[in-house]
Amino acid sequence: MSIHFFYFFIFFFNQLCNPKAVTMDNSERHIDVWNGCLQIIKQIIEPQKFDVWFRPVKPVSIVDSTLTIEVPSDFFREYLESAYLDVISKTLKRVIGTEARLLYVIKPVQSAPGMVIPAALGQRPENPSVSVNTASRGVNPSPFVYPGLHKLKIDPRLNPVYCFGNLVEGECNRMGITAGNDIALAPGQNPFNPLFLFGGSGLGKTHIAQAIGIAIHEKFPDLVVLYVTGNEFKTQYMDAVNVRNKLTDFLAFYMKIDVLIVDDVQDLLGQGSQNAFFNVFNHLHQSGKQLVFTSDRAPVDLRNFEDRLLSRFKWGLSVELSRPDFETRLAMLKSRCFREGVTIGDDVLEFLANRINTNFRELEGVLISLIAHATRLHRDANIELARSITDKLVSEDKSEITIEKVLATVCDYFGLTREDLVSKSRKRQIVLARQIAMYLSRNLVSGISLAGIGSGIGGKDHATVLYACTAVSDLMATDRNVRQDVQGIEKLLARSGDRNR
């Protein structure tokens, strides 16, 4: 007997043995049916996911075999169907019968309370107390430590909002998220030690790094986790060398850490601070502790760093985070709308995803500004308001990549002429270059439609452009050469943009 059938049997046995349930008023039947479904679903999925995705759902009515439920937003409904449709369908058939059907109603935004952010379900992470052999008792070896005579409590400095559950995965960050999840399963005992995340500002390096720390803390609460920036480490070192015996305390403190996350490691300049960091690195790595670093550039591009330290940065896994594509930007906007408990039309979100193609941080900032203006001014969050806000917040030099620049760069990269690229030639290299040009135009050129891209690339229709974008996205996931070509052209476009500013 399966566990699902067992809980199904228990539910109906309780119904038969409960006279109130048998004689229940028909007006309450939808509540009883949904509660019965929840009892089964609760035994199948993880408690936290159950609290996030099923507790907010309210039963509305039941007519014959059709149950109607209320969900907070359309995004919420889409996620339920994509992640739990099979569980819900089977459960409904067991509780209602084989003819069971499910209908949704969306709670009006005006009367909806603020949505609970999944990360907010847990408390801010706290580390266990640790013993540190300091040279002078009562001296606080770090600004992140609460002083005590024998035990020190280290604040991990992790923001619960920066969890994996709040990350939107796309081609731009998939490798980093995958590696982070693997690290969280076995910190310090995996081939990704250290993990070195690098890329431009606002691409999610800090979010992934902190998500790793949060996931490790949840799975291994006895481990001591610490998030610190490179500049903070350097400042602490400089303070320590100016106080007698405090440098010993400083090193003793860091060597007690089980998971060390250093953000913006490129700021760790200076021979003394790098030497101290080198000793901390060696001790932790040799002791099987986990190290996670982020930087705005690759290890090979770091300047004024000791060679022995750079070589250690390359020991584990280096992952580059790139600009998010259109689909990932749109998914991030929908996710943030869900977290804020608001519903904004797809046309507005698509406008924002097209208009802002630089990074997640800028995109999220404009969305929050849009929500705030719409709320304060009692206006609809429409394209007109969105355009007004982006015109004020997004400078023109950040949207300077044009379709002409994309075409020229693609032609230079593949050694083609513009006539070749926009022609009807079906040669494999030309077709691939043409599709990549369409893909990059959609992701990098602001405010352009599919029809506009097609018009600029040989008069193709919007369906051809959409197919090309999908094809390139699929190839990037399976073909390393195509992925390298696309990323190489993106870098050339970014460099040309930097030179023009």
pLDDT, one tens digit per residue, over 265-324 is 988 888 888 999 999 999 999 999 999 999 988 888 787 888 888 888 888 888 888 888
Q: How confident is the model at residue 4 (pLDDT cuts 50, 70, 90)?
A: very low
- Residue 397: count other Cβ atoms within 10 Å of its Cβ: 9
Q: Rounded to whole angstroms, how far apart are CA atoms 108 and 343?
A: 9
What is the average pLDDT across 23-43?
Answer: 80
pLDDT of 433: 93
Q: Per-residue confidence at 346, pLDDT binned at 50, 70, 90?
A: confident
| Whether pLDDT at 361 is above 50 | yes
- Per DSSP bridges, beta strands 130-131 and 101-106 are unpaired
Here the tokens at position 70 are 């209320």
Tokens representing residue 316 in the block: 């584990």
Are 290 and 183 within 8 A, CB to CB? yes
pTM of the model: 0.57
Q: Which of 44-53, 146-155, 187-196, 246-255 has the lowest mean pLDDT?
A: 146-155
- Terminal Cα-to-Cα distance of the chain (whole angstroms): 68
- Look at residue 360 in the predicted model and tell me its pLDDT: 84
Angle made by CA atoms 302, 305, 227, in degrees to the nearest 5:
80
Q: Is 196 exposed, middle or buried (0-12, 13-18, 19+ CB in 10 A)?
A: buried
pLDDT digits (tens, 9 = 90+) for 413-460: 999 998 889 888 889 899 999 999 999 988 887 667 777 788 888 888
Closest CA relative to residue 259, chosen from 303, 293, 235: 293
Q: 3-class DSSP state for residue 152?
A: strand
Nearest to 77 by CA among 60, 57, 48: 57
The partner residues of 146 in beta bridges, in order of sequence, read 153
Once rounded to an integer, what is the mean pLDDT over residues 204-223? 92
Percent of the chain clearing pLDDT 70 (strictly above): 81
Identify the DSSP state of 122.
S
pLDDT (mean) for 457-465:
83
Residue with structure tokens 């998030």? Answer: 227
Determine the 3-state secondary structure of 22 from DSSP.
helix
* Strands laid side by side in the 66-71 sheet: 58-63, 66-71, 101-106
Mean pLDDT calculated for residue range 88-97? 89
Beta strands (DSSP E) in 265-360 are: 290-295, 317-320
> Quick check: 204 and 321 in contact, CB under 8 A?
yes
Report phi then psi at 70, rounded to 5: -105, 130
**Mean pLDDT confidence for 227-244:** 85
pLDDT of residue 129: 60
In 210-276, DSSP assigns E strands to 225-229, 259-263
Note the pLDDT of residue 130.
61
Count of CB atoms situated within 10 Å of the CB of 164: 19
Q: Residue 255 pairs with which residues in a beta bridge?
A: none
Backbone angles phi, psi at 416, to 5 degrees: -115, 165
Q: Is the torsion defined by CA of 130, 132, 270, 234 positive or negative?
A: positive
Tokens representing residue 11 in the block: 């539910």
